[in-house]
Structure 1
Amino acid sequence: MARLLGTLLLSTLLLSLGARADMQPLDRIVAVVNDGVIMQSELDARVDDIAAQFRADNRPMPPLNVMQEQVLDRMILERVQLQMAERAGIRVDDAALNQALEGIARQNNMTLPQFSETLRGDGYDWSQFREQIRNEMVISRLQQRSVASRIRITDREVERFLQSETGKRMFQADFHLGHILVKVPGGASPDQVRSAKQKADDLVNRLRGGADFAETAVAESDGPQALEGGDLGWREAAQWPSLFADAAIDMQKGDISEPLRSGAGFHILKMIDRRGGAAKVVTQYQVRHVLIRADTLTTEAEARQEINRLHDQVASGELSFAEAAERASDDPGSAREGGELGWVTPGEMVPEFEQMMTETPVGQLSPVFQTQFGWHFLEVEDTRDTDMSDRYRDLQARQALQKRRFDEELQTWLQEQRAEAYVDIRLNEDS
């Protein structure tokens, strides 16, 4: 019996050693970011999601190592910002997250359950998607607090902009731009700058020679939209950073710019399309709202509970909208008027308010939603179309200057945060 047990133990030990020799690690660290880590499994999941988007759009995929480096760089920057947001106490609760997800579902003409089922059917993990949207909302709030709050546009700046030839021309067109960035690190040597400039010049020559812009951006760009083919979407000309706007103003559809130098590096633009030139008609909204905000005496949960109670009372007819606003709204200016804000022009309100305003049918009560000012619900009483007035032009000029300044300041701020963070990339290390 003793001999048999010994034989069994020896066999078990040998099997164990053999299995250990063949065993492969299930996961490993690919980057250390301050006091946190990014795991290979996290990177693989994000790469898989982006690869699925490439397949769905029928776009050729870049080499795996290029995609991994691009995605990991994006994840590092996200992680740095999420760590900053956590230290600053910036949170997005489930109610605000669900509100945002319902908005995304409405944009796709779906209810939230339908949207969830569609994503699951396409192979996405719903819980991971929810957390990714939550993280994006947290990062947006951090950026607004850290960057937008420092930007001040004076009346004099608006006046000078509107009087300038550039300002007059910019309001005549919208641009759809593609973008490639050849990054130049902070404190770069002259040789590094020359090397980056040479690469940018070579890319411009390839693109003007017929190379596909989107494929080149995916493979070569260091910009944040590289994996989207460098597509920056549509904006009014005045809202682009001045470096881009000044170069694009005379470009025609299909044109490729010369390399444009900024603190971030060398930028290459493609004019994907442009439109405009005629007088613009603006839809205005006659809106009223109720606001409940948290303060030293009212917690966030209590504020949300109170706004939901008022919403239910107005929806059931127990209270009129005006009565709810006059009795309880924390917006003193509109509360005295039964919640009336008058005619609102797009661009006057914060994005969350404007989105809800434009999505709510006339005469219906909106859902409860959150902005940086607190918890709201609103009603759109009427809409009207109006020609662009001087007041609207002033507003658009201010918005354009704010957007320009924000984009410029954001890139500088992101570079600073990335440079100050401790980052140890282990992507290409043997496990």
Structure 2
Amino acid sequence: MPDAKHVLGTLFATLLMLMPLTSNAKVEMLDRIVAVVNDGAIMASELDERINIIALQFQERDQPLPPPAVMREQVLDRMILERVQLQLADRGGIKVDEASLNQALAGIARQNNMTLEGFAAALQQDGYDWPQFREQIREDMIISRLQQRSVASRIRVTDREVDRFLESEMGKQMFQEDFHLGHILVRVPAGASPEEVQAATSKVNSIEARLNQGEDFHQLAISQSDGPKALEGGDLGWRPAAQWPTLFSEAALQLEKGEISAPIRSGAGFHILKMIDRRGGAEKVVTQYQVSHVLIKADALTSNEQARDQATRLQDQVASGAADFATIAAEYSDDPGSARNGGELGWVSRGEMVPEFEEMMLNTPQGEVSPVFETQFGWHFLQLQGTRDADMSEEFRRMQAMQALQKRRFEEELEIWVQEQRSESYVDIRL
């Protein structure tokens, strides 16, 4: 990966090329509203800033930029969906505190082999807006928490469903391989009229015909897809086969590397998939994490702010060495199962804990005490005792099946939920 200074030097060269030339004899309006979203607005300057960031990502991958009109439309659509969700999160009181944000940023810095201070300094040295970068990460975290609260918390998978899945032929096949999929979505709005459905059908048939004639999937996804990864060429990345939405996995099982599916209809619209690659079939070795935590819940007698303050006081005692983690957990933690064992949760694997907990677990150095953070269960702080590599046991296989079914349903429900929120919102595009 290029270092931050090289990347940001390239960014500003790109920005200079993208900026329109102006004349001293002419004064132009530098900002205007490009979209109204409920009681908020997206300004042209915000849109231009986001476009410039995405242009850098294209440049890092040595990919040509889409036509400017396509880029603006795709980026604005993404920003509208983000704004709708941030407004919902604000009304629901969902926030990300400074400690949680700093921990997430420290994780990003470690992925780039830098300290948080060094990462921030490198960005600022090249003129990058560090506070703006922080706020973008904060917004991403807030949206993730909103989605977990609104969608994931309603999804339930029973032991019987896991048994049926593991015994099915599809379940056996899907645990044998990982898929790397490309995706094109032609959106059909919630409550669409027959004319809108017909227009979407015509569009997806036209895209399918162009693909069959040899046009590039990546470029068509950028210019035609309504999916969340359109600007990435529809690249959804690698994932165990069992974790794809049911419609995707059923179609993907039949595809060889490089093949493209026929259009698939779902509640969100029409999908076309490309099997970019597939791999696997052997038993997997997984990394597991030995972790302990303290949980403080709000209740009828304790407000959310009081619970947070208590968790902060206890974390300070442990982090300073004034108190032992296990002792504090046994005396104060509101998780009775782990409190009896000094807060120990045993060995856990990725995907086993809620996202906020997993993110903190992965970003906390071994032996250190994490900052206080919030999940749907309350306020926590944790300590990572160690990691190990473990063979894929039958117990782990069941857990993977449970997670796969949950993730599959989450993705199916999330796509529909996001589009419902947009259809129920007032959006006025003024490009």
Measure, in 2, the Cα distance between the counterparts of 1:316 and 1:31: 49
Shift of 1:311: 4.0
Measure, in 1, the Cα distance between the counterparts of 2:369 and 2:279: 33
Per the alignment, residue 423 of structure 1 pairs with 427
1:391-402 aligned at under 5 Å gives the runs: 391-402=395-406
Indicate if the aligned counterparts of 2:189 and 2:423 stay in contact, CA closer than 8 A.
no
Shift of 1:359: 4.7
Q: Over residues 139-194 of structure 1, what are the superposed CA-to-partner deviations in whole Å (9 max), with x where a residue is unaligned?
A: 11111111112222122222221121111110111111111112223344445434
Matching of residue 141 in structure 1 with residue 145 in structure 2: yes
Letter in 1 for 2:371: V
Per the alignment, residue 367 of structure 1 pairs with 370
Per the alignment, residue 129 of structure 2 pairs with 125
Matching of residue 114 in structure 1 with residue 118 in structure 2: yes
Shift of 1:421: 0.9
Letter in 1 for 2:293: H
Indicate if the aligned counterparts of 1:368 and 1:375 stay in contact, CA closer than 8 A.
no
Shift of 1:282: 2.6
Measure, in 1, the Cα distance between the counterparts of 2:46 and 2:258: 37
Measure, in 1, the Cα distance between the counterparts of 2:328 and 2:363: 22
SS in 2 for 1:201: helix
1:123 to 1:256, Cα distance in 2 relative to 1, 3 A: farther
1:27-106 aligned at under 5 Å gives the runs: 27-106=31-110
2:190 to 170, 177, 186: 186
Measure, in 1, the Cα distance between the counterparts of 2:75 and 2:305: 36
1:264-343 aligned at under 5 Å gives the runs: 264-295=268-299, 297-298=301-302, 303-343=307-347
Indicate if the aligned counterparts of 2:312 and 2:372 stay in contact, CA closer than 8 A.
no
Measure, in 1, the Cα distance between the counterparts of 2:386 and 2:54: 41
Letter in 2 for 1:117: A
Indicate if the aligned counterparts of 1:176 and 1:272 stay in contact, CA closer than 8 A.
yes
Measure, in 1, the Cα distance between the counterparts of 2:313 and 2:189: 53
Measure, in 1, the Cα distance between the counterparts of 2:28 and 2:321: 65
Indicate if the aligned counterparts of 2:106 and 2:363 stay in contact, CA closer than 8 A.
no
More moved, 243-252 vs 338-347 = 338-347
Indicate if the aligned counterparts of 2:318 and 2:369 stay in contact, CA closer than 8 A.
no
Per the alignment, residue 3 of structure 1 pairs with none
Root-mean-square deviation (Å): 2.4
Letter in 2 for 1:259: P
SS in 2 for 1:417: helix
Per the alignment, residue 406 of structure 1 pairs with 410
Per the alignment, residue 222 of structure 1 pairs with 226
Matching of residue 379 in structure 1 with residue 383 in structure 2: yes
1:333 to 1:78, Cα distance in 2 relative to 1, 3 A: same
- Count of residue correspondences: 406
Shift of 1:30: 1.2
Per the alignment, residue 16 of structure 1 pairs with none
Indicate if the aligned counterparts of 1:175 and 1:237 stay in contact, CA closer than 8 A.
yes
Per the alignment, residue 9 of structure 2 pairs with none
Q: Over residues 177-220 of structure 1, what are the superposed CA-to-partner deviations in whole Å (9 max), with x where a residue is unaligned?
A: 11111222334444543443343233234334443322221111
Per the alignment, residue 171 of structure 2 pairs with 167
1:319 to 1:242, Cα distance in 2 relative to 1, 3 A: same
Q: Over residues 368-409 of structure 1, what are the superposed CA-to-partner deviations in whole Å (9 max), with x where a residue is unaligned?
A: 241413343333334443332222222111111111111111
Letter in 1 for 2:50: R
Letter in 2 for 1:73: D
1:227 to 1:118, Cα distance in 2 relative to 1, 3 A: farther
Per the alignment, residue 15 of structure 2 pairs with none
Structure of greater Rg: 1
| Structure 1 spans left out of the alignment, 5+ residues | 1-20
Measure, in 2, the Cα distance between the counterparts of 1:367 and 1:186: 42
SS in 1 for 2:421: helix
Measure, in 2, the Cα distance between the counterparts of 1:33 and 1:352: 28
Shift of 1:240: 0.5
Letter in 1 for 2:49: A
Measure, in 2, the Cα distance between the counterparts of 1:22 and 1:41: 19
Q: Over residues 55-89 of structure 1, what are the superposed CA-to-partner deviations in whole Å (9 max), with x where a residue is unaligned?
A: 22211111111111111111111111111122222
Shift of 1:255: 1.5
Measure, in 2, the Cα distance between the counterparts of 1:48 and 1:324: 48
1:205 to 1:227, Cα distance in 2 relative to 1, 3 A: same
Q: TM-score, normalised by structure 1?
A: 0.86
Letter in 2 for 1:368: P
1:273 to 1:194, Cα distance in 2 relative to 1, 3 A: same
Per the alignment, residue 349 of structure 1 pairs with 353
Measure, in 1, the Cα distance between the counterparts of 2:209 and 2:133: 39
Matching of residue 200 in structure 1 with residue 210 in structure 2: no
Identity of aligned residues (%): 67
Letter in 2 for 1:207: L
More moved, 42-51 vs 168-177 = 42-51
1:191 to 1:305, Cα distance in 2 relative to 1, 3 A: closer
| Structure 2 spans left out of the alignment, 5+ residues | 1-24
SS in 2 for 1:254: coil
Q: Over residues 337-389 of structure 1, what are the superposed CA-to-partner deviations in whole Å (9 max), with x where a residue is unaligned?
A: 21222232333212232334345555x12322414133433333344433322
1:272 to 1:368, Cα distance in 2 relative to 1, 3 A: same
Shift of 1:223: 0.7
Q: TM-score, normalised by structure 2?
A: 0.86
Indicate if the aligned counterparts of 1:120 and 1:126 stay in contact, CA closer than 8 A.
yes
Indicate if the aligned counterparts of 1:347 and 1:395 stay in contact, CA closer than 8 A.
no
Shift of 1:230: 0.9
